[in-house]
Chains A and B, each alone.
Chain A
């Protein structure tokens, strides 16, 4: 279990995240939503300890994340930031194999190879596994990075806006994969999303931030409501039900 307790981060004197406390339930998808500059990515970075908090703490299994041994932590929690700018020429398979780094330090055992094979198969990358990353499209590249995270085989998978620069088809594909990771493999996914409808359709729980503060935290169906959304986005957004999916029609509100 990941517990976030009273987390605050200052950039200069300005708080970008202020006194946020939430608990992440295992086996769910939790989406962080909110306007630009709400502190979603900063919060995610602190949870994955890429950033140090100024006050407050993040606990993984009741132990402060800062106290975890870095390899052990990397076997439990993985984070994928916006990865499109990585300019290293690796093949898909080499990249995915680096997901095993916390376990093997680069000397892959046959068990590691199996994880790599499975991750590649799971993300449907078999045919392009020997291609260089810079030969792939944005969607394929994103899939390769997610395959790496799958090979890392962590209980918690944190993603920072993984749908950025992806077209509709690939966005849906990625979200379905994340849903499957939770439903089939029992992973816990925490994701920063820009598109509220993807959050609505795919997540179990929504955490909404605004100006660095937590404004809403609850099951998806409680947050995707006109009143709640008004508190988050300052907009009146009508909700439509489409075969059980609640769609926010914000385009002309």
Chain B
């Protein structure tokens, strides 16, 4: 598949997304200067589209980096405890620091996401049996442990509702002024592209990387920091979007391989397309109401994931 096809699809879907919603907005309204509609367009529709684009590209690339560094096709922020750790971080910041600012939440969440992912990589380093299915299973268990800690303390502190709000990935509440944190992931994505070759080399193993004179540990750490930044910004603004970081990089890997310099643009564009499709479906099905995007992503994503597991076990093992 060519990159331009994916990009054209993303642009077309973006237009659909911009002109879809409870209130009917047409291009002519914008041109004619209908101020109410222009307001809705700028305050709600455009931010929503930007959030979808950044979250779609971001989560897909975070997944791609994790798969490369862990050398396992089924590891992603959802299957390695990254997102669960980020949630735990937000909770702790709310529990222990009553007057915590938004920035404080971000930093806590980031620190936890980073530490959580790092711990998972350490576990991965120590287990002998590195089966493609076994490793993400451990990650999911690990994530559930973190998540149950979060739930327990949230229950004790009567914060359960806030927690479930972060659980639910949704673009419904994205309006101007509430999503700009996502732009922090832009430099992270640029860095990911600049480090693409290093991630590819590190993905061939420590010995291989050392042979080529690459400082393996440093690259590993930079990768984990980028993953933590991207995941945190998405969790804090949009919520948890499952499967995205798992499915999109794998689809791209099937037709394009694992050379990150080549696959990062595709993965980003494909992630945007996938998330746009899921969001648009969620907005159409019970129009004028909406189904949160994490539901549509989970339904479509789990189906694709199942196919990948059944058909692709052989491919993932290679």
Residues of A within 8 A of B (CB): 45, 48-50, 70-75, 78-81, 83, 86-91, 94, 98-99, 101-102, 105-106, 132, 134, 152
Question: B206-260: which have CB < 8 Å to A?
Answer: 206-208, 210-215, 253, 257-259
Name the contact of B203 in the complex, choosing from A45, A50, A81, A88 (C-beta under 8 A): A88
**Contact status B211-A74, CB under 8 Å:** yes
Name which residue of chain B comes closest to A160, CB basis: B207
Q: How far is the CB of A12 from chain B (nearest CB, A)?
A: 16
Please tell me the size bucket of the interface on B: 20 to 34
**From DSSP, what is the main secondary structure of chain B's interface residues?**
helix
Q: How far is the CB of A141 from chain B (nearest CB, A)?
A: 11
Tell me if B201 is interfacial: C-beta within 8 Å of chain A: yes
**Contact status A94-B211, CB under 8 Å:** no
Name which residue of chain B comes closest to A45, CB basis: B207
A-B contact list, 20 entries, CB within 8 Å: A48-B210, A50-B206, A50-B211, A74-B211, A74-B213, A79-B207, A88-B203, A88-B258, A89-B318, A90-B200, A90-B258, A94-B259, A98-B201, A98-B212, A102-B212, A102-B213, A106-B197, A106-B261, A132-B257, A152-B212
Name the contact of B257 in the complex, choosing from A48, A86, A90, A99 (C-beta under 8 A): A90
**Contact status B213-A73, CB under 8 Å:** yes
Complex CA distance for A80 and B212, rounded to whole angstroms: 10
**Contact status B258-A79, CB under 8 Å:** no
Name the contact of A78 in the complex, choosing from B211, B215, B258 (C-beta under 8 A): B211
**Contact status A101-B257, CB under 8 Å:** no
Name which residue of chain B comes closest to A88, CB basis: B258
Tell me if B205 is interfacial: C-beta within 8 Å of chain A: yes
Residues of B within 8 A of A48 (CB): 210-211
Other A-B pairs beyond A50-B207, A70-B210, A98-B201, 6, CB < 8 Å: A88-B200, A89-B253, A98-B212, A101-B214, A106-B196, A152-B211
**Contact status B258-A89, CB under 8 Å:** yes
Tell me if B317 is interfacial: C-beta within 8 Å of chain A: yes
**Contact status B210-A71, CB under 8 Å:** no
Q: How far is the CB of B128 from chain A (nearest CB, A)?
A: 14
**Contact status A94-B210, CB under 8 Å:** no
Q: How far is the CB of A94 from chain B (nearest CB, A)?
A: 5
Residues of A within 8 A of B210 (CB): 48-50, 70
Q: How far is the CB of A34 from chain B (nearest CB, A)?
A: 21
Residues of B within 8 A of A49 (CB): 210
**Contact status A90-B259, CB under 8 Å:** yes
Complex CA distance for A169 and B51, rounded to whole angstroms: 57
Residues of A within 8 A of B259 (CB): 90-91, 94
**Contact status A134-B318, CB under 8 Å:** yes
Tell me if B40 is interfacial: C-beta within 8 Å of chain A: no
**Contact status B201-A101, CB under 8 Å:** yes
**From DSSP, what is the main secondary structure of chain A's interface residues?**
mixed
Complex CA distance for A72 and B212, rounded to whole angstroms: 10
Complex CA distance for A94 and B68, rounded to whole angstroms: 16
**Contact status B197-A105, CB under 8 Å:** yes
Q: How far is the CB of A103 from chain B (nearest CB, A)?
A: 10
Residues of B within 8 A of A152 (CB): 211-212
Q: A79-B207, A98-B200, A105-B197 are in contact. Are A89 and B257 (CB under 8 A)?
A: yes
Q: How far is the CB of A153 from chain B (nearest CB, A)?
A: 12
**Contact status A87-B318, CB under 8 Å:** yes
Tell me if B37 is interfacial: C-beta within 8 Å of chain A: no
Q: A50-B207, A90-B257 are in contact. Are A71 and B213 (CB under 8 A)?
A: yes
Residues of A within 8 A of B213 (CB): 70-75, 101-102
Provide the B297-311 mask, 1 if CB < 8 A to any CB of A, else 0. Answer: 000000000000000
**Contact status A91-B261, CB under 8 Å:** no
Residues of B within 8 A of A102 (CB): 212-213
Question: B35-71: which have CB < 8 Å to A?
Answer: 68, 71
Residues of A within 8 A of B204 (CB): 86, 88, 98
Residues of B within 8 A of A79 (CB): 207, 211
Residues of A within 8 A of B71 (CB): 87-88
Per CB-CB distance, the 3 closest pairs between chain A and chain B, nearest first, are A74-B213, A106-B197, A134-B318
Residues of A within 8 A of B200 (CB): 88, 90, 98
Residues of B within 8 A of A101 (CB): 197, 201, 212-214
Residues of A within 8 A of B253 (CB): 89
Complex CA distance for A83 and B68, rounded to whole angstroms: 17
Name which residue of chain B comes closest to A158, CB basis: B211
**Contact status A87-B197, CB under 8 Å:** no
Residues of A within 8 A of B258 (CB): 88-90
Name which residue of chain B comes closest to A152, CB basis: B212
Complex CA distance for A102 and B210, rounded to whole angstroms: 10
Q: How far is the CB of B307 from chain A (nearest CB, A)?
A: 18
Name the contact of A94 in the complex, choosing from B205, B212, B257, B317 (C-beta under 8 A): B257
Complex CA distance for A75 and B212, rounded to whole angstroms: 8
Name which residue of chain A comes closest to B211, CB basis: A79
